[in-house]
Amino acid sequence: MNLPIRPRRNRRTAAIRALVRETVLSPGDFVQPLFVQEGTQNDAIASMPGVTRWCEKDVVAEVLTLHAVGVPAVVLFPKTDDSLKTSDAAECYNPDGLIPRVIRAIKAACPEMCVITDIALDPYNADGHDGLVEKRADGSLEIVNDATVEILCQQALCHAEAGADIVSPSDMMDGRVAALRASLDAAGYTDVSILSYSAKYASAYYGPFRGALDSAPKAGDKKTYQMDYANAREAVREIMLDEAEGADMVMVKPAGAYLDIIASVRQHTTLPVAAYQVSGEYLMIESAAAAGWLDRKAVILESLTAIKRAGADIILTYYAKEVAQWLRV
């Protein structure tokens, strides 16, 4: 054939492919989610094989390992004892609670590690919702917006006081970013950043996570606050609002089934964009690999590269430590 243009020339050798590669993962892209619990023992998480729920002492050692392999940040999720769960979720701003203690322990051992905390009520709420729940006259449930935001502000102040670098509201209440910024600033925490879960969809992919924390809603679902997965323009609206309210970084969640949303958000903001490869995405890879149906390492790297290629600057993934180790050798 007389073919002056042959795209395959750019794929001919590994060296040429390296030169023309558009998207390259690095350890600095990742945030490791860490589950923590009371006591002195670590537990395997039944709903998330391969993931550990750490006690306070051992999570610090895990953070030192993450730091050593180049992972710059962790995000903390607590399993709250049932005895501490109430309908007003007051444990979420207890200065001696599990999360503030863990933040202080991590910061004492590894001050360079960026500590992100989740701002939402579900691990502390007897109802398992991200906000306060009121029962309407007809028996249906209302997740109350404005009163929830006030508690979220107390939660964020408690985490900031303990030394969190970034607070990350995952609750999807309206107006919470502006309220958090105002509360943090008024208390002098002008350096504490807000990474907003701006476009967080009501997703079945969160199922295993709720098992890890025993935090599933006792009744109802999260569809009156988390977004309808059929909607794309609405994500841009949420991102623009959070940017105007003072978010430092925005997030799309889940990631793998929402690459179109990541790409669209990337075009509508100059802020850093994060994406969360959630528990269900992790488990789909783990279960297929365990059955011998997929090449585990190859699929993990492909899934994460796709999320970055779509436009994510920051990736929250249960694979952060392992991938950082692969990338360093």
| DSSP codes, 270-321 | SS-EEEEE-HHHHHHHHHHHHTTSS-HHHHHHHHHHHHHHHT-SEEEETTHH
Residue 286 binds ligand PBG (CB under 6 A): no
Segment interacting with ligand PBG (CB under 6 A) among 7-15, 80-88, 187-195, 202-210: 202-210
* Residue 242 in the binding site for ligand PBG (CB under 6 A): no
Q: Which is nearer to ligand PBG, 49 or 111 (CB)?
A: 49
Kindly tell me which of 43 and 187 has the beta carbon lying closer to ligand PBG. Answer: 43
Residues 253-282, one symbol each (x = binds ligand PBG by CB under 6 A, - = not), give: -------------------------xx---
Confirm whether 308 is a catalytic residue.
no
Q: What is the DSSP string of 59-97?
A: HHHHHHHHHHTT--EEEEEEE--GGG-BTT-GGGG-TTS
Q: Is residue 167 part of the contact set for ligand PBG (CB under 6 A)?
A: no
Cα separation of 217 and 125, whole Å? 9
Query: Residues for the chain: how many in total?
Result: 329
Residue 71 near ligand PBG by CB under 6 A: no
CA distance 105 to 113: 11
∠ CA 191-196-200, nearest 5°, is 170
**Does 320 contact ligand PBG by CB under 6 A?**
no
Please say which residue, 191 or 228, places its beta carbon nearer to ligand PBG. 228
- Write down the catalytic residue from 200, 222, 308, 321: 200
Binding of residue 196 to ligand PBG (CB under 6 A): no
Widest CA span in the chain: 77
Using DSSP, how many helices (H) and how many strands (E) does the chain show? 11, 12
Closest distance of CB 210 from ligand PBG, Å: 6
317 sits near ligand PBG (criterion: CB under 6 A): no
Is residue 315 within the footprint of ligand PBG (CB under 6 A)? no
Taking CB under 6 A as the criterion, the residue among 70, 101, 141, 210 binding ligand PBG is: 210
Decide if 135 is catalytic.
Answer: no
Residue 29, classified by CB atoms within 10 Å of its CB into exposed (0-12), middle (13-18) or buried (19+), is buried
* Residue 245 binds ligand PBG, judged by CB under 6 A: no
For ligand PBG, the closer CB: 205 or 270: 205
Considering only the stretches 115-123, 149-157, 240-248, 298-306, report the one whose residues sit in contact with ligand PBG under the rule CB under 6 A.
Answer: 115-123
Contact of 39 with 81, CB cutoff 8 Å: no
For residues 265 and 271, what is the distance between their CA atoms, to the nearest angstrom? 10
The secondary structure element, H or E, covering residue 196 is strand 193-200
Helix, strand, coil distribution of the chain in percent, nearest 5? 45, 20, 35
Q: What distance in Å separates the CA atoms of residue 58 and residue 97, rounded to the nearest whole number? A: 17
Give whichever of 196 and 279 is closer to ligand PBG, judged by the CB atom. 279
Q: Which stretch binds ligand PBG (CB under 6 A): 116-124, 143-151, 175-183, 228-236?
A: 116-124
127 binds ligand PBG (CB under 6 A): no
Cβ-based nearer residue to ligand PBG, 116 or 271: 116
**Distance from the first to the final alpha carbon of the chain:** 42
Q: Least Å distance between CB 173 and ligand PBG?
A: 11
Tokens (6 digits) for 115: 């500590």
Which residues contact ligand PBG by CB under 6 A? 118, 120, 122, 130, 170, 206, 209-210, 222, 278-279
Which residues are marked as active site? 200, 253
